[in-house]
C-alpha cells in the first residue's frame, strides 16, 4: 500500500509540534519542580518587587490598583517580552543539529519557542490571577477583555518579529547573543513595571513613550482597571511597532535564511 503524501502544512505542523515538545523537555525537564517552576518563578519575583515597592512608598495603591497587582501586570508582560527576545536569539544555534533534516527550517525553531513562551505566559497569568483572588483576597478581573486580548496579541507579534531578527543576527554574529540580555534587563526600569506613566514628569514622558513595551503594560492595566490613567499611551503605536517588527524580522530572515543553515 502506497503511503499518503503529507501536505506542506501538515509537515510544518508536525515539525513545530515536535520542536515544542523538545523545548518543553529541555526547559522544564531538568528541574525537580518541572512545570510548576513556570508559575513559582514569576510569583516569587512579583512578591519580592511588591514588598520592595511597599517598603519604599507604603501600601498606598496605584490609582486604586493594589501594589501586587500593579507590579504583577507589568512584570509578567515585560518578562514575556524579554524572555522571548533572549530565547529566540539562541533558538537557531541551539537547534542547528536538526537542520540536517530538510523538513526543519530555522524559522520553525524560533516559532516553536515563541509559541511555547506565549502559552506558558498565558497559563501563568491565569493561575496568578486565581492565586491573587483566592489566596490574597485581591479583586483581579479584566474589565475590557477585548482590549486585553488585543494588547497581548500585539505584544506577541512585536516580540516575535524582534525575536526573529535577533535570532538571525545572533546566529551570524555570536557576540550579539551576549549583548541582548545587557540591553533588555535595564529596560525593566523604563517600561513602567514599577511606576505609572502619569507620575513621570511631563518633559520626560516623550522619551519613555518610544518604548512599545511601556504602551503594552499601561494599556493592559487600563483594560483591567478603567480608572487607570493611560492617556499617554495607545494601541495604535503598539500596533505600528508590531507591524514594523514583523516586517523587519521577516525581511532579515528571508535575506539570510540560506546562510543560517550553512552556519
**What pTM did the predictor assign?**
0.89
Instruction: Count CB atoms within 10 A of the CB of residue 228.
Output: 22
Strand-pair partners of 62: 65
Strand-pair partners of 65: 62
Poorest-confidence range of 175-184, 204-213, 234-243? 175-184
Residue 1 has pLDDT above 50, yes or no: no
CB 77, CB 216: distance < 8 Å: yes
> Which residue is it, cell 524572555?
83
Residue 28 has pLDDT above 90, yes or no: no
Which tens digits make up the pLDDT trace of 61-112?
888 888 888 988 999 999 999 888 888 888 888 888 888 888 889 999 999 9
Which tens digits make up the pLDDT trace of 127-180?
888 888 887 777 788 899 999 999 999 999 999 999 999 889 888 887 776 777
Q: What is the pLDDT of residue 136?
A: 73
Nearest CA among 90, 83, 122, 126 for reference residue 106: 90
Which tens digits make up the pLDDT trace of 30-39?
655 566 766 7
Q: Please provide the DSSP assignment of 103-124 as one string.
A: T--HHHHHHHHHHHHHHHHHHH
Amino acid at each position: 500500500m502506497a503511503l499518503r503524501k503529507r501536505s506542506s502544512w501538515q509537515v510544518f505542523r508536525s515539525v513545530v509540534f515536535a520542536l515544542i515538545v523538545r523545548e518543553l523537555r529541555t526547559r522544564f525537564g531538568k528541574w525537580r519542580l518541572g512545570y510548576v517552576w513556570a508559575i513559582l518563578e514569576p510569583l516569587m519575583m512579583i512578591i519580592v518587587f511588591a514588598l520592595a515597592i511597599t517598603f519604599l512608598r507604603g501600601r498606598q495603591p496605584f490609582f486604586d490598583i493594589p501594589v501586587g497587582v500593579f507590579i504583577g501586570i507589568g512584570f509578567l508582560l515585560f518578562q514575556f517580552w524579554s524572555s522571548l527576545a533572549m530565547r529566540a536569539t539562541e533558538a537557531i544555534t541551539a537547534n542547528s543539529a536538526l537542520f540536517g533534516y530538510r523538513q526543519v527550517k530555522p524559522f520553525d525553531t524560533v516559532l516553536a519557542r515563541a509559541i511555547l513562551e506565549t502559552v506558558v505566559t498565558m497559563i501563568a497569568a491565569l493561575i496568578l490571577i486565581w492565586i491573587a483572588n483566592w489566596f490574597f483576597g485581591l479583586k483581579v478581573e479584566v474589565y475590557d477583555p477585548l482590549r486585553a486580548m488585543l494588547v497581548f496579541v500585539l505584544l506577541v507579534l512585536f516580540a516575535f518579529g524582534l525575536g526573529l531578527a535577533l535570532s538571525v543576527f545572533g546566529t551570524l554574529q555570536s557576540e550579539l547573543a551576549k549583548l541582548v540580555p545587557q540591553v533588555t534587563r535595564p529596560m525593566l526600569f523604563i517600561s513602567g513595571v514599577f511606576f505609572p506613566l502619569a507620575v513621570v514628569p511631563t518633559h520626560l514622558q516623550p522619551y519613555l513613550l518610544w518604548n512599545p513595551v511601556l504602551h503594552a503594560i499601561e494599556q493592559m492595566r487600563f483594560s483591567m482597571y478603567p480608572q487607570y490613567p493611560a492617556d499617554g499611551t495607545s494601541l495604535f503605536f503598539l500596533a505600528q511597532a508590531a507591524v514594523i517588527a514583523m516586517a523587519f524580522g521577516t525581511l532579515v530572515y528571508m535575506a539570510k535564511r540560506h546562510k543560517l543553515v550553512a552556519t
